[in-house]
A = this chain, B = another copy of it.
Amino acid sequence: MLPHQAKGKPVATPQTNSDRALLVDLYELTMAAAYFEHRVDCRATFELFVRSMPQERAYLVAAGLDAALGYLENLHFTEGDVNYLQGLPAFKTVSPAFFEHLRQFRFTGDVSAVAEGTPVFADEPILQVTAPILEAQVVETYLLSVVNFETLIASKAARVVRAARGRGVLEFGTRRAHGPEAGVRAARAAYVGGCAATSNVLAGYRYGIPLAGTAAHSWTQVFSSERRSFEALLETFPESAILLIDTYEPLQGAETAATLGRKVPGVRLDSGDLLEKSRAVREILNRHGLKETKIVASGDLNEFKIEELLTHGAPIDLFGVGTDLATSRDVPTLSVVYKLVEIEHDGRIEYKTKFSEQKVYSPGRKQVFRFSRGGKYHHDVIACCGEDPPEAEALLQPVMRGGRRLEPTAPIQGIRARTLAHLDRWPEAYHALRDAPTYPVAKSAQLDRLLKEVRERYVEAPQALSAQRDSRGDAS
């Protein structure tokens, strides 16, 4: 099928998987219990960011925000969840009041975030969560996981889409994704990153993403002849069928497709030398007057192979990309972290960081400012939250207050358009697939001073921090 989609809005109802409250790491719940038992109820701010850029990526495309907010808004423990936890041996020393608390638990915090489809870099907060410490802690794993994965795939997709130079990229990767649900999320993220369509029908249903598909080799194999299999598919789908022509021999398959005496919307090549084969197939199709027939190529494609094919002028109209896209095969994970940057207790702010080896990060709530020159992005500055340089765009914006989204889910077509618009404002050098220059990201003088102050306080009084006996039950 050529890319197409249902008319009107996505028809899916929001996901309300009641299991999701348990989709946490155990330590979040044991810490929650211990916070509860010790009446630690300060308000905390955590920031979610990527610790370092993978060498193979010049930029990342933020994604996963919609899933993150949907999770926060619907989060609650079912009776079954609570009973399960109460039955765990680890929790036998925890008072019943904690489990009552879980029964009432809702996320009531505030969230600021970078809009989906925005390029981001190491150390730049993508999400900023401010909530009572217990709530902010419980949501750690889920937030990390959705932002990690969707950002990973949107970033990979943006590279593949740029390499395709305006030809459509079709996301075909669910079968090789990390489970079927990862396939659905990958399809969404790939579309955010600029793909034209997906083969994953559930992604079309849930998010309104255009769908595309062709036929499998088994279709051709079941019929007594390749010709008959082509005819049968075209009889059912005269306007959109894409014939897979390489089950036996691709050029013979192209000849067969071209001599059916019918309109053929598209053909797909899935093996062999795609440059040579696509040229020969185009020649065969044109010779028989099928100049409008699209050629779709697939078979372990990625941005490098697509760039190579197009550099040599391969007459390919659409690229089907599966495994490499849905798993981000060359970079299968990002170093996302969720770090406590400050707590507020009785109106007083305490700035937080960590000093263990190579894991220091800047304390305090931040903002990311993006500066442009002549319509192109020029550099970023990570600053303290209150700073406000003129002429820069502030990337972090409030998206949730008191546990409620400030805006409904944005239409995904708009997010995709934003990604493409952002990437067009990026100087071309950063789009090189290999050895792109490093985009300049600085830290503001005020942010550096804050780290220095926190460090000095720590260096001056490390014993106080590590050994001071504090008999108060609460945090301060």
Contacts and interface: CB of A to CB of B under 8 A. Distances in A.
A27 B236 CA distance: 13
A307 to B, nearest CB: 22
B222 A40 contact: yes
A448 interface: no
A44 B222 CA distance: 9
A425 interface: no
A140 B175 contact: yes
A216 B140 contact: yes
B466 A182 contact: no
Interface in A76-124: 80-81, 83-85, 87-90, 93-94
Contacts of A145: 174-177, 179-180, 182-183
Nearest to A476: B224
A430 interface: no
A304 interface: no
A12 to B, nearest CB: 8
A204 to B, nearest CB: 8
Interface residues of A, number: 142
A256 interface: yes
Contact of A270 (B240, B356, B458, B475): B356
Contacts of A465: 225-226, 248
Contact of A472 (B180, B219, B224, B332): B224
A42 B248 CA distance: 21
Given A80-B11, A216-B27, A475-B224, A177 B180 contact: no
A31 interface: yes
Interface of A: 1, 4-7, 11-12, 17, 19-20, 22-31, 33-35, 37-38, 40, 42, 44, 46, 80-81, 83-85, 87-90, 93-94, 133, 137, 140-142, 144-146, 148-150, 152, 172, 174-186, 199-202, 204-206, 211-219, 221-228, 232-233, 235-241, 246-250, 252-253, 256, 270-272, 323, 327-329, 332-334, 336, 338-340, 343, 352, 354-359, 458, 462, 464-470, 472-473, 475-476
Given A11-B84, A93-B236, 14 more contacts: A1-B26, A1-B90, A7-B89, A12-B19, A19-B206, A26-B200, A26-B204, A85-B201, A142-B180, A144-B175, A222-B343, A226-B466, A232-B473, A323-B333
